[in-house]
Structure 1
Amino acid sequence: MSNSIVFYKMPAMAAYQLALKQGDTALEKMAARKDVKAEVDYFRDKIQGVKSVEDLFKDRRLTKFVLDAVDLGKETDKMGLIRKALTQKAEDSDALMNRLPDKRYKVAASLLQFGEKGLGQIQRESTKDDLAELYVKSRYNDGLATQNSAVPLALYLKDNAAGVKNAYDILGDQRLRHVVTTALGLPLEIANQSVEAQAAAIEKRLKISDLSDPKFVDKMAKRFLMLSDDTSVSAGPEQWKLNLFA
């Protein structure tokens, strides 16, 4: 089996079907790619010798690896915010991670636990394994986004839809929000409404319990992909960030 993996521009639906067909094989190829393996090896070799969270952030290569793994790699222009959000304690209701509408910061902080354990969590073998796996998946999703930026978003819906309990779970996740509101035909201007009004608009068009049905979710993902191609939502890999809630 070849270890090379190449991404070509293609229509959203075709790229989505190809990603589903390749499945874990594509992730294995990505993990074996020379540049990806080099970053994983660097992380594993260096993280155990780091003495403090501050020292970790001083190593740009380590920092980039960790941020890529926890889905914050494209936010490096906000390093002050990142460091503050990731190093406070989650139990503090006033902690920045608990006040940000972008829940990626809280998810990352909960995994790394810098505020609670310093480097104790990230230096555990199980956490290193998790971060290595997440890094590979992040690099794979970056590749999919160059192929068609709507595809990793559709796959994100498939991976996370079953965990949605109410409309607020959708609104609290920028990517789910973008995919669901696009698939439901809700306009970008809905972001100007109150969160309660946005939740009501979603619940009027979507039975939340349907998100636990893989067939329903696949249909919603495909509708999102078709609308993305039709409306040029897939014009850029970060286009989904234009569809945020206030």
Structure 2
Amino acid sequence: MSVSLAGLPSNLSTLFSAISGTGSTANSAASLVSIAQGSVTAATTGASSENPIVALQVAQRNQTQDIKNEALQPAVQRQIAAFTKAVNSATSVKQLLSNPTVLNVLLTANGLGSEAGYPALAQKALMSNPSDPNSLANQLSGTNSQWLSTAQTYQFATKGLAIIQQPSAISTITNGYAEVLWRQSLDAQTPGLSNALYFIQNAKNFTSAVQILGDSVMRSVVTTALGIPQQIAYQPLSAQEQSITSGLNISDLQNPKFIQSFADRYLAVEQSKAQTSTGSSSNLESLAVQAQGLLA
């Protein structure tokens, strides 16, 4: 496992050296106890005191059933029903993508929910030909690769409604919509949990720093966990790549254990940031106790 701990607060750096297995198990456990004894104070009101590592474990364990429960919520059911009806009755791509509900469900399910407020842009991007290097989907992929991925998936420009009107496509979209809503609901109690789940599920698909930088969630998780400031976005692409690869061995993203520990690290940093922003101190005692279960 190759990952730099530079940029982390000293207590988190020590904690994640222990979690990731640096040194013996006994020494790692001792480090966790030392952190707990030397750094713990009660979290004050205003930031979640829930252990982020435990919250992630619970979310992973209950994910399938929780997504089903989310899909059964009345508001979600109404959105899914309206989406399904509109897709099945549509006679043109333009008509379909002009429907606000359809656009919201489709974009949300494909990781573009934040773009739903720009319907004209979304319609043009999704209707552009992904095979054309000058298409809008390709142009936008420099900042968010999901535009190109979504245009390639449904191929509106060349196949019209043929793909999206398939029952399997409708099911995939509506299930994805419910999953994203479920993940987002988790962030209220555990900042960053939605991103952590996305990272765990998708990290293995990323084989270069450029790909990571082109995915908004992956970029956020990796830069946050590595302590890279958000201002990196204003640097040349080569400098951004270097910032990623100097702290992360991309090949480690093929290792499920590494992915899990990296997601844990991201969540701990997110919680530390949230608590700092509200003037509360780090509640590491519970985190340390639970983290012992991650030691090999």
TM normalised by structure 2 equals 0.71
Establish whether residue 64 from structure 1 lines up as the match of residue 104 from structure 2.
Answer: yes
CA offset digits 1:126-183 (Å, max 9, x no partner): 2112111111112112212233330011111101111111111111111111111111
Q: Which residue number in structure 2 is paired with residue 164 of structure 1?
A: 206
Structure 2 residue identity aligned to 1:97: A
Structure 1 residue identity aligned to 2:64: D
How far apart in 1 are the matches of 2:71 and 2:197? Answer: 19
Q: Which residue number in structure 2 is paired with residue 5 of structure 1?
A: none
Of the three residues 169, 192, 197, the one matched with 1:155 is 197
Structure 2 residue identity aligned to 1:208: I
Contact 2:103 2:119 in 1 (8 A): no
How far apart in 2 are the matches of 1:147 and 1:105? Answer: 30
Contact 1:112 1:122 in 2 (8 A): yes
> Structure 1: which 4+ aligned runs deviate by more than 4 Å?
8-11
**Once superposed, what is the RMSD of the aligned Cα atoms?**
2.1
Establish whether residue 184 from structure 1 lines up as the match of residue 226 from structure 2.
Answer: yes
Structure 1 residue identity aligned to 2:116: T
Aligned length in residues: 228
Residue correspondence of structure 1 range 1-246 to structure 2 within 5 A = 10=50, 12-100=52-140, 101-232=143-274
CA offset digits 1:47-97 (Å, max 9, x no partner): 211111222133322332222222323322222211111001110000111
Judging changes above 3 Å, is the alpha-carbon distance between structure 1 residues 47 and 64 closer, same or farther for their aligned structure 2 residues?
same
Alpha-carbon distance, 1:206 to partner: 1.3
Alpha-carbon distance, 1:9 to partner: 8.7
Highest relative contact order (Cα 8 Å, sep 6+), 1 or 2? 2
Partner secondary structure for residue 205 of structure 1: coil
Partner secondary structure for residue 164 of structure 2: coil
Structure 2 residue identity aligned to 1:38: R
How far apart in 2 are the matches of 1:234 and 1:80? Answer: 39
CA offset digits 1:168-207 (Å, max 9, x no partner): 1111111111111111122223223211111122212111
Contact 1:148 1:234 in 2 (8 A): no
Contact 1:149 1:234 in 2 (8 A): no
Contact 1:9 1:146 in 2 (8 A): no
Mean Cα deviation higher: 9-18 or 124-133: 9-18
Judging changes above 3 Å, is the alpha-carbon distance between structure 1 residues 149 and 114 closer, same or farther for their aligned structure 2 residues?
farther
